[in-house]
Structure formats: C-alpha cells, structure tokens
C-alpha cells in the first residue's frame, strides 16, 4: 500500500531541508564576514539578523497554513518540501487541485491521495510549474529591468520638461503614474486581486461533482463560513494596524486570517449538525 508519510519520503524531505538550511547558513556566515570587512558595527549586524529572523515569522505562518491545507490530500512531506524551497499558497493549492482534477478525482485536496501515480503526478506539476520562473528569470529579468529603468527615466524627463513651475511640479507624480512605469505599479496588485477573486468565487459558488458527489468537494456552509471568517479577521486586523500604527502587525494579517478561517472550519464541522455542516449547493 502506498503511504504518503512513509519513512523513505521523510528521509528524502529531510535531506532537501538540510540542504536549504545549510545554504542559508552558508550565506549568513558569508554576509556576516563581509559586513565586518566593510567595518559595519557588530550591533548593527546583530540587529539586521534579528529583524530578518522576525520578518520570516509571518511567512512561516503562511507556509504552515498551506501545509495544513494540503496535508489531507498529500500528507506532510510534499507540502513541507515544496514550501521550504520555493512556493506559496496561491500557487501550490491551485496546482495541486488542478493536477488532481486532471486525474478525474473530484474531491480536490480534501481527500487523501492513495494512488502513487496520482501522487507523483501532482508532485511533478507543483514542482515543475514553480521552477519555470527560476528558468526564465535569468534570461528575461535583466532585459526587462533595463526596459523599466529606461521607461522610468523617460517619464521623469517628460515630467520635468512639462513642469517649469512649482504648481505643475506638484502635479508631476500624477502624470508619472500615467506613464508606462506608473502603469506597472498596478499590474502586480491587479494580478493578485484576480487570483484571490477566483478563490473567493470558488468558495461561494464552486460546484462539486454531480456525477460522483463527495462530501465537501464544492461550495457550501463550511466554505462560506471559512471565507467569511478569514476576511473579517483580516479586515479587522488591517484596520487595527492602521489606526494604532502597528506596522509590525501588517505582515501577520493574512496568515492570522487564514489560520482563523481553518480553526473556525474545524470547530464548525465538529459542532454543527451534520446536515448543516455538510450542506453544499451543486450547480
């Protein structure tokens, strides 16, 4: 019988994690030595290391939440390895779900994968897809960066020529925003919002399989309750961080919202009557 939590998989995962940790330690030591060579005060170096370590906590919480989300289908090994190297919840869950659906399985990431071929296929999709950026970036990052710099300089020159006095100089930022460089400021947020919108729509209206219906494979009471909890907690924390100027809280908003949604889903599943907790609407 295939076991997605076998000792062999854990040994392979452990080797990968040790390599990642060793690489991180190597560059930390190199950076520390180079900092001392540059004459940077030891206290400043310690502060840089401490702040960097604290900055990783929100990311670690997001990784933990993603591992928990993927564990029912894939166990702990693959999610742990994938997110310890490179990855995030917006990619990993989509890749895993689509790969599972391609094998004709309608339960998505809610049911354990017991077929080794399906498990290997999902692992390959998750891995190869995320590696594409690592292959492409060395070839396109520098030319793209150069083009953006050229566009930004051109926009600044045009603004300077059109702003001979102080009043028009104050209006310069608005004009710059309409340039190519300014347009790029909206691309990443727009892509992220579009991706999140797909998750939201699936949680509200996602239809499970009509031919082979399975519990919790579509939108229903639990999915809406989970989504609502995550949104409310995130919005409240965001407002609190802005009102009281708690800048340290901002990186924790999304992971805390995700974890809160998961906790409420588990509690609701065990507390609500089964006919309510498992209620789904199928399109």
DSSP 3-state of 88:
coil
- What does the block give as tokens for 133? 């950026």
What's 249's DSSP letter?
G
DSSP single-letter state for residue 220: B
More confident: 107 or 177: 107
Higher pLDDT, 182 or 21: 21
For residues 227 and 260, what is the distance between their CA atoms, to the nearest angstrom? 10
Contact status, residue 227 vs residue 203, Cβ threshold 8 Å:
yes
Q: Is the pLDDT of residue 252 over 90?
A: no
What gap in Å lies between CA 131 and CA 148, rounded to an integer? 24
Q: Which of 134-143, 159-168, 228-237 has the lowest mean pLDDT?
A: 159-168
Q: Say if pTM beats, i.e. exceeds, 0.85.
A: no
- pLDDT band for position 231 (50/70/90)? very high
Question: Please, which residues bridge with residue 220 across strands?
Answer: 280
Per-residue pLDDT band for 232 (boundaries 50, 70, 90) equals very high
Residue 4 pLDDT class (50, 70, 90 cuts): confident
Confidence of residue 134 (pLDDT cuts 50, 70, 90): confident
Spatial distance between the Cα atoms of 87 and 82, rounded to a whole number of angstroms: 6
Helix, strand and coil percent figures for the chain, each rounded to 5: 80, 0, 20
Average pLDDT, the chain: 81
Q: Where are the domains of the chain?
A: 7-205, 206-283
| pLDDT, tens only, 32-83 | 999 999 998 888 888 888 878 877 877 787 788 788 888 888 998 989 888 8
Region of 102 please: left (phi>0), alpha (psi -120 to 50) or beta: alpha
Measured torsion, CA atoms of residues 141, 146, 149, 154, in degrees rounded to the nearest 10: -140
């Amino acid at each position: 019988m295939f076991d997605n939590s076998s000792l062999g998989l854990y040994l392979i995962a452990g080797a990968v994690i040790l390599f990642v940790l060793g690489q991180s330690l190597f560059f930390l030591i190199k950076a520390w030595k180079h900092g001392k060579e540059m004459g940077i005060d030891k206290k400043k170096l310690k502060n840089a290391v401490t702040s960097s370590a604290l900055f990783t906590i929100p990311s670690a919480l997001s990784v933990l939440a993603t591992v928990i989300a993927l564990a029912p289908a894939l166990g702990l090994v693959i999610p742990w390895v994938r997110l310890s190297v490179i990855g995030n919840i917006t990619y990993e869950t989509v890749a895993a779900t689509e790969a599972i659906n391609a094998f004709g399985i309608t339960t998505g990431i809610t049911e354990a994968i017991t077929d080794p071929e399906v498990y290997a296929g999902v692992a390959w999709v998750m891995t190869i897809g995320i590696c594409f950026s690592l292959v492409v970036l060395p070839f396109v990052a520098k030319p793209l960066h150069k083009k953006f710099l050229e566009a930004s300089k051109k926009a600044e020159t045009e603004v300077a020529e059109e702003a001979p006095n102080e009043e028009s100089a104050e209006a310069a930022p608005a004009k710059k925003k309409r340039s190519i460089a300014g347009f790029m400021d909206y691309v990443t947020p727009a892509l992220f919002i579009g991706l999140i919108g797909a998750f939201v729509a699936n949680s509200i209206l996602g239809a499970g399989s009509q031919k082979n219906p399975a519990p919790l494979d579509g939108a229903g009471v639990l999915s809406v309750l989970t989504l609502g909890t995550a949104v409310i907690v995130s919005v409240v924390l965001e407002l609190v961080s802005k009102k009281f100027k708690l800048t340290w809280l901002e990186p924790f908003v999304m992971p805390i919202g995700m974890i809160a949604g998961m906790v409420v889903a588990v509690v609701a599943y065990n507390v609500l009557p089964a006919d309510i907790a498992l209620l789904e609407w199928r399109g």
